[in-house]
Amino acid sequence: MRILSGSRPTGHLHIGNYVGALQNWVKLQNEGHETCFFVADWHVLTTAYDKTEELAALSKELVKIFVAVGLDPDKSILFVQSGVKEHAELCLIFSMITSVPRLERVPTHKEMKEQLQGATDINTSGFLLYPVLQAADILMYLADGVPVGEDQLSHVELTREIARRFNYIYGCELFPEPQSLLSKFPKLLGSDGRKMSKSYGNIILIDNNEKHLTEQILPMITDPARKRKTDPGNPEICPVWDYHKAFGVTEEQKEMITDGCVGAKIGCIECKRILIRNMVTIFEPIWDKIRLIDQSPGYIDQIIFDGNDKARRIAQATMEKVRSAVNLLF
Ligand code: SF4
């Protein structure tokens, strides 16, 4: 399969993103699929066009995290969207065949409009068009699979519709209909038990260290029934248990924690210390890699340069076919 996915460079990639997306990307890469992962910097402009001071730096930071978590530039194409201008051209062509009412019906459009109300002016054509840009990002690489979270399913559905419509209108079979590849892990809640979000100040960053991680995990909300160690609890309603499942709890630990929690034999702090140890085992190599990359100036720039070049070659080949199908002179 050819697989493509991307992430916005907003500067706060957290462990929920790691579990829900990045870990899965690395797995897909290592299974031998053709994988392309990109920094969706133009997408930031759809909602924060007036806050771009750090955009270039955050784009590089994101590629650094990609590499640190295990995306390998020799196996995957890692690129930055604005470095491949063909995305804008394909988005323009797709916008001609996509109706405004259809875009207004995209569930995330309504949700984001409500969320962002008052924060920024989102009555822009770019905001409405962002699922079309996403369709261009995906179809440019003739991707068969798109790893997504549940909230993005409607975008892949729209991408399939645009592919079908293009092929039908221009009498060709140029674009495949990509499938959504849902990540199997549920969304992790933030340290305060609410949705993990920068605006709530409850995110746990990937770029972290053991001390900071400990400070964030120890005060985490648990089963409210467990006020004291002697109160029996239920792991299934505890956010810490979801973290355990996401971060390598062993069968032996699982049994010990479940038994200890239900039977009021272990305290929540002890349970959280097991979690911290497991998380450090997973994240320490990532933190080391981040430090190593920080000591190699130019390394990330070179990865972006090479990745953009590889992506551009594919994009140029696709656009040749698109222009020919649409009968454009140039
Ligand atoms: S013992 Fe662990 S699973 Fe049980 S309530 Fe406390 S933190 Fe949650």
Q: What is the CATH number of the domain that holds 320?
A: 3.40.50.620
Q: For a ligand 1 pocket test, name from 223, 258, 272 the mutation site with the most ligand atoms within 8 angstroms of its C-beta.
A: 223
Are 277 and 237 in the same domain?
Answer: yes
Query: Going along 166-322, which residue ranges are E strands?
Result: 179-182
Q: For a ligand 1 pocket test, name from 240, 256, 270 the mutation site with the most ligand atoms within 8 angstroms of its C-beta.
A: 240
Phi and psi at 147, nearest 5°, equal -70, 125
For 93, the token pair is: 């062509």
Q: Which of 201, 218, 199, 193 is nearest to 279 (CA)?
A: 218
Q: Would 198 be classed as within a structural domain?
A: no
**Sheet arrangement for strand 145-148:** 76-80, 34-39, 2-7, 145-148, 179-182
Are 126 and 248 in the same domain?
Answer: no
- Distance from Cα 238 to the centre of ligand 1, integer Å: 6
- Distance from Cα 283 to the centre of ligand 1, integer Å: 22
Contact 45, 122 (CB under 8 A): no
Are 87 and 181 in the same domain?
Answer: yes
| Enclosing H/E stretch for 196 | none
Q: For a ligand 1 pocket test, name from 228, 238, 253 the mutation site with the most ligand atoms within 8 angstroms of its C-beta.
A: 238
pTM, two decimals, is 0.92
pLDDT, one tens digit for every residue, the chain (330 residues): 999 999 999 887 899 999 989 999 999 999 999 999 999 999 999 888 888 999 999 999 999 999 999 999 999 999 999 999 999 999 999 999 999 999 999 888 877 777 766 666 778 899 999 999 999 999 999 999 999 888 889 999 999 999 999 999 999 999 999 999 987 776 788 888 888 887 788 899 999 999 999 999 999 999 999 988 899 999 999 999 999 999 989 999 999 999 999 999 999 999 999 999 999 999 999 999 999 999 998 999 999 999 999 999 999 999 999 999 999 999
Domain count of the fold of the chain: 2
Are 138 and 40 in the same domain?
Answer: yes
Q: Would 200 be classed as within a structural domain?
A: no
- Distance from Cα 257 to the centre of ligand 1, integer Å: 7
Q: Would 199 be classed as within a structural domain?
A: no
Q: Would 55 be classed as within a structural domain?
A: yes
Q: Would 229 be classed as within a structural domain?
A: yes
Are 308 and 180 in the same domain?
Answer: yes
- Distance from Cα 279 to the centre of ligand 1, integer Å: 16
Q: Would 122 be classed as within a structural domain?
A: yes
In the chain, what are the helix, strand and coil shares in percent, each to the nearest 5? 60, 10, 35
- Domain extent at residue 287: 208-292
Find the CATH number of the domain harbouring 270: 1.10.240.10
Contact 177, 163 (CB under 8 A): yes
- What are the angstrom distances between the C-alpha of 137 and each of 82, 130, 155, 212, 278? 11, 10, 12, 36, 36
Are 67 and 128 in the same domain?
Answer: yes
Contact 71, 112 (CB under 8 A): no
Are 180 and 81 in the same domain?
Answer: yes
